Chains A and B, each alone.
Chain A
Amino acid sequence: MSMIRIIKRMRRTEVILMCCSFCLVILQVWTDLKIPDYMSEITRLVKTEGSAISDIVKAGEMMLLCAVLSMFISFTAGFVSSRLAATFSMHLRTDIFHKVESFSLEEIDRFSTASLITRSTNDVQQIQNFVSRGFTMVIRVPITVTIALIKIWGKHWEWTAVTSGAVFIVILAVIYVIKYAHPRFRRMQVLTDDLNRATRENLTGIRVIRAYNAEEYQEGKFAQANDNLTNNALQAHYAMAIMHPTMRFVHNGLNVGIYLVGAYIISSLLGTGEALTTFSEMVVFSNYAGRILFSFMSLNMIFNTIPRATVCCERLLEVLDTEPSITDGERMKGLEGEEGTVEFKNVTFRYPGTEGDMLSDISFRANKGETVAFIGATGSGKTTLVNLIPRFYDVTGGEVLVDGVDVREYDQRALRALVGYAPQRAVLFTGTVADNVDYGTSFNSYTEEEARDRIREAIEVAQAKDFVEALEDGYDAEITRGGTNVSGGQKQRLSIARAIFRNPEIYIFDDTFSALDYQTDRTLRAALKEYTQGATTLIVAQRIGTIRDADRIIVLDEGKMVGMGTHSELMKDCEVYRQIAYTQLSEEELQ
């Protein structure tokens, strides 16, 4: 079902290609199966007194012609099916990628990033493989069987009986393999994962393992997983081992059987003209019967690929069927005179599929140029709260206003252009340092010169100048995938520079500073304060030191606001805030 739905997504050209491929396969099988017919003809000619050699050669020419035709049709079919598979997978990949890019964080959370990656890469690849190979195989089998059956139909029932017997054995063998071996092969994946988990466990815990002298314990665990895998693999391969010899025996035996039965038939027809016809038929019958046999054997492969491809289709459809929960509004600008303001009005938020509100009844207002900080324990909803501002999620209740307008009324791009956002975990992309800093700013219109200057400036404010200029290619130094060639703190500073480069009305720093050491943290914040004058700044922090100077600090506890005010006000009135302060600093320190 899901496979049909995926196939329905084919573009018109792809459908045409598919039909072509279908016709070509029929044609190819037909020409291929035509060849033995001429062999039968030749046999008859050889055995008929007085037939000319030239007739034999003529029949041979026809055979060769069929062989050549069959080859070229195969080429064309191969061309068509590889084009089909490649275009189809290209479009499928594009569709998926577009879809995921349109997702809000809510959908990403629902699928999980890892799962979306597998779906967009591996699953698409699997379907491509299926379309290019499996698909041809699937249509080839019934066509071959049908045509070959037509060819041998009504020849001599004895032969048909022998062939049926052979096919029956093959079907039994195939069923056995599908029932017994396939599940074991599938299980092997799970067991391999277990084994890899054991290795990973040993690697990640290496210090603990050595400290507890638990090497043998770990080795025992590994050996157990290894035994499970090996035993299962043995069973699977043992089961599979039967297939090949059986097939060979049945095929060879069928040949012998046909000749043996043929000898009987011919001996009963001796003296009539029928004898010769039967003899020539016998020569090719085994050819056709062999093809039928092998077609049935490939059922084994088909039954292996179809379920896999179906699972992939289902997984892709799940993504394609999902509509992004966040849709665009029409507003491109906020209200005049409200620039740089952020306001929460009785905001409630709950992650889909969870019980209990992540945030409840949050109300506050940040005016232009103000710094508002959020503090609270892990899981208290700080990140969730700031994520509502660029509308990564939609509120469950209440409203979030940016520049005086509900965020849901904005065009998403327009809204996000107002915000400079630096997340908890810095993200860097493959590309140069400069590429990363001016990322996504195609909205602005700087000349190359201006852009350069502004990149420098942003990097300087973010306290990243020293290390960037120390890199071999400076601003053009390559960042490798995932930013693995710069340290955590450096990554974080480049991520901050990215926010600064935008020169936004509103800055959001989601716990951006805790990866920096105290000294850098302080200098950076000082430079930032000077540079971002007039911009509204929202900071999520762990360290009290980071936020002491904020105009307003909002204390969150289990999704509720339990305090709002300046540092000294909160030290006086807010129990939770005091507790946080105490865990960071011991009691005697505070007196």
Chain B
Amino acid sequence: MAKNDYKLGEAKIRQGGGRMRVNEKPRDFKKTIKQLLSYLRVFLPQYAIAFTCAMVSVLLQLFGPDNMRKITNLIEDGMANMHMDMPAIIRISIMVMCFYLGSSLISLIQSLVLTNATQNTMRYMRNEISKKLNRIPLKRFDTSSFGDLLSRVTNDVDTVGMSLNHAASEIVSSLTTFVGCLIMMLITNVTLSGIAIVCSLSGFFMMKIVISRSQKYFTRRQTYLGLINGHIEEMYAGHIIVKAYNGEAQSIEEFEILNRHLYENNWKSQFISGIMRPIMEFLSNAGYVAICVLGAIMVRNGTIRFGTVIAFILYVKMFTQPLGQIAQAATSIQSATAAAERIFSFLAEEEMEDESAKPSLLNDVDGLVNFEHVHFGYLPDRPVIHDFSVEIKPGQKVAIVGPTGAGKTTMVNLLMRFYDIDSGTITIDGVNTRDVPRENVHDQFCMVLQDTWLFEGSIRDNIVYSMKDVTDEQVVEACKAVGLHHFISSLPDGYDTVLTDDSNLSAGQRQLITIARAMIRNAPLLILDEATSSVDTRTEQIVQDAMDTLTKGRTSFTIAHRLSTIRNADVILVMKDGDIVESGTHEGLLEAGGFYSQLWTSQFVNAEEL
């Protein structure tokens, strides 16, 4: 089936082509720059100092060539008069050294101030982003690609920082050099200035041409690089299938095609961009030659003195670069502005309502939970829960059941007020959860979710988490209750063992830690996800026992996977396609013969036959 061989490779090109951008442009340059300036208010004095320093440093440097001219002329005079005016030469030398030293010192100050300003700007931005993260409503995180966006925001901060540090100061000093140099040259000699200007301008235009030419190959190179890396990732990740289905040949063939394309664009883009340096060098050399020859002729004619030639040799060196550097800095500022735009649009995300004014009415809660005519939808025009009401008495057990993907986490979202309901009320002990701050609601719940979230830190930190005034005894107590104490004690560092990504805790042990965390929390209400899919039989028993201990004395909402939980539940909420379609007791629901009884027979029919 040879017809097949290129298909997958083509699909990659088809799907991946045109997606890559090399140089991003901001949508609204002016607005973003303004935003950036007002955002950086605090740091503006520092930036102003830095940029002034950059300017002063360049200006001081500009005295160099002129003084070199004087020295040369003095030496020349000395040769003609057979008497070298050494004191004068030394005096000028010391003066010019002072200028250079001053220039370098000020430039050093500029670097230090600027580094300080940009790094602190970056720190500030990153902290803002981190804080913002926790003020954004949870629903934003459920839309895909949001996490993606976030991870990019961190890189964007780097881009902005880099650009503030290099590009901005580069533009300031390049402009100063350009203008200052121009003035100094024109004062010294107009003809020779003409040569320098011609060289500098032609360098600038050639640079523009080369940049625009190479852009095409760079874009393609990036595209193919992305494609080939994508292919590599895909094939390595799917290695087992490649092996099982003898797909090696096909995979290699696709790889070769992409690799070949990459090669072509690789060397072309590299070559074209590599042309830049020789051209710039040539222009600098050509300027040097022109100054030497023309200057020499003028010296012969007596129009100028030799020192002027020396000065111009130095000027040309300084003068051929700024325009090119400004061009490069401008590109970098452009992409930085695009990055800043993304950061600002993130910081402008809608936040959760500020609730600090609401009183914390929930204290010593009994655990009476009431749903009254609750309506809810994730999208405004697509309600999933229609007019749901139920009363749960303190200490009752609620089981939430339904097929996979029926939206069982919706209940968690509503109870915890991660999402606000569209209409109706949810009350705890008669208090509407919307009348108190979210934190007050959260404090009433212990929560154990299926995905056991642990962070990099010691076992103790993970269990205590953000609770205050927890004694070591309490931690040990909780671990004993969930059957973890023995295991933790056997670890070399005990409760101080640091959990890392690759730490060798089993899935069950991780789950037990989150249960212990919930115990320390000791709140009157409990949300529990029973799923223990990747746990071996023995651990599963321990985990389930721990969960049962946790349920005692609490009003509990359990995403149920065990028949015993379901059968013992005081209230069963049956979910389907996001909605709560039925609620009641096991017997009552079976009798009703609705979705629950259907589910029961299809899902557990084998059980009955055992």
Contacts and interface: CB of A to CB of B under 8 A. Distances in A.
B and A form one assembly: yes
A207 interface: yes
Interface stretch (B31-39, B339-347, B528-536): B528-536
B interface, size bucket: 35 or more
Given A101-B252, A213-B439, A256-B68, A242 B108 contact: yes
B255 A208 contact: no
22 contacts: A39-B292, A46-B296, A67-B289, A68-B282, A71-B279, A89-B263, A94-B255, A101-B252, A103-B239, A217-B465, A227-B123, A237-B115, A241-B112, A241-B115, A245-B111, A263-B78, A392-B243, A429-B238, A440-B250, A489-B404, A583-B540, A589-B610
A165 interface: no
A45 interface: yes
B604 A585 contact: yes
Interface in B258-295: 259-260, 262-263, 266-268, 270-271, 274-275, 277-279, 281-282, 285-286, 288-289, 292-293
B507 A378 contact: yes
B597 to A, nearest CB: 14
Interface residues of A, number: 168
Contacts of A71: 278-279, 281-282, 285
B236 A117 contact: yes
Contacts of B238: 427, 429
Contact of A97 (B8, B76, B96, B255): B255
B103 A230 contact: no
Interface in A361-394: 377-380, 390, 392
A245 B267 contact: no
Nearest to B231: A430
Majority secondary structure, B binding face: helix
Given A263-B89, A279-B75, 11 more contacts: A53-B297, A74-B278, A83-B271, A101-B248, A203-B150, A208-B449, A237-B115, A263-B84, A478-B14, A481-B230, A544-B606
Interface in B62-115: 64, 68, 71-72, 74-76, 78-79, 82-84, 86, 89-90, 93, 96-97, 100-101, 103-105, 107-108, 111-112, 115
B443 interface: yes
Contacts of A56: 293, 296-297, 300
B189 interface: no
A211 B416 contact: yes
B11 A416 contact: no
Given A378-B534, A442-B5, A480-B15, A423 B439 contact: no
A532 B608 CA distance: 29
B334 interface: no
Nearest to A81: B274
A585 B252 contact: no
A117 B233 contact: yes
A87 B263 contact: yes
A353 interface: no
Nearest to B467: A212
B198 interface: no
Q: Which of A255, A266, A448 has the most CB of B within 10 A?
A: A255
B442 interface: yes
A423 B3 CA distance: 27
Interface in B297-340: 297, 299-300, 306, 310, 314
A213 B466 contact: yes
Interface string A405-435: 0000000110011010101000101111001
Contact of A266 (B79, B111, B234, B507): B79
Interface stretch (B130-138, B479-487, B578-586): B130-138
Contacts of B61: 248, 252
Contact of A132 (B268, B270, B602, B607): B270
B232 A97 contact: yes
Contact of A439 (B247, B255, B271): B247
B20 interface: no
Contact of A210 (B14, B71, B286, B442): B442
Query: What are the nearest 4 A-B pairs in CB distance?
Result: A377-B536, A60-B293, A440-B245, A74-B278
Nearest to B93: A260
Contacts of B249: 442
Interface stretch (A268-276, A304-312, A466-474): A268-276
Contacts of A162: none
A512 interface: no
Given A70-B282, A260-B90, A430 B537 contact: no
A430 B119 CA distance: 41
B360 to A, nearest CB: 11
A78 B123 contact: no
Contact of B141 (A94, A128, A203, A390): A203
B122 interface: yes
Contacts of A11: none
A390 B11 contact: no
B125 to A, nearest CB: 10
A203 B147 contact: yes
A448 B3 contact: yes
A74 B283 CA distance: 13
Given A237-B119, A427-B241, A482 B270 contact: no
A246 interface: yes
Interface in A557-591: 571, 576, 579-581, 583-586, 588-590
B8 A429 contact: yes
A586 B563 contact: yes
Contacts of B101: 249, 253
Given A35-B285, A57-B293, A263-B84, A586 B126 contact: no
Majority secondary structure, A binding face: helix
A19 interface: no
Given A212-B442, A518-B602, A259 B84 contact: no
B228 interface: yes
B259 A441 contact: no
A200 B15 CA distance: 28
A528 interface: no
A547 to B, nearest CB: 10
B29 interface: no
Contacts of A223: 127, 130
Contacts of A589: 563, 604, 607-608, 610
A187 to B, nearest CB: 15
A157 interface: no
Q: Which of A59, A201, A439 has the most CB of B within 10 A?
A: A439
Contacts of B256: 94
Nearest to B279: A71
A427 B536 CA distance: 25
A203 B145 CA distance: 12
A255 B78 CA distance: 19
Contact of B610 (A32, A93, A270, A571): A571
B1 A259 contact: no
A138 interface: no
A68 B606 CA distance: 87
A86 interface: yes
B388 interface: no
B244 A421 contact: yes
Interface string A143-182: 0000000000000000000000000000000000000000
B240 A245 contact: no
Contact of B259 (A53, A90, A253, A435): A90
B279 A266 contact: no
Interface string A50-91: 000100110110011011101100110011011101110110
A585 B64 CA distance: 90
A280 B230 CA distance: 60
A234 interface: yes
Nearest to A522: B602
Nearest to A390: B244
A83 B267 CA distance: 5
Interface string B40-77: 00000000000000000000010010001001101110
B468 to A, nearest CB: 10
Contacts of A442: 1-2, 4-5, 246, 249-250
B237 interface: yes
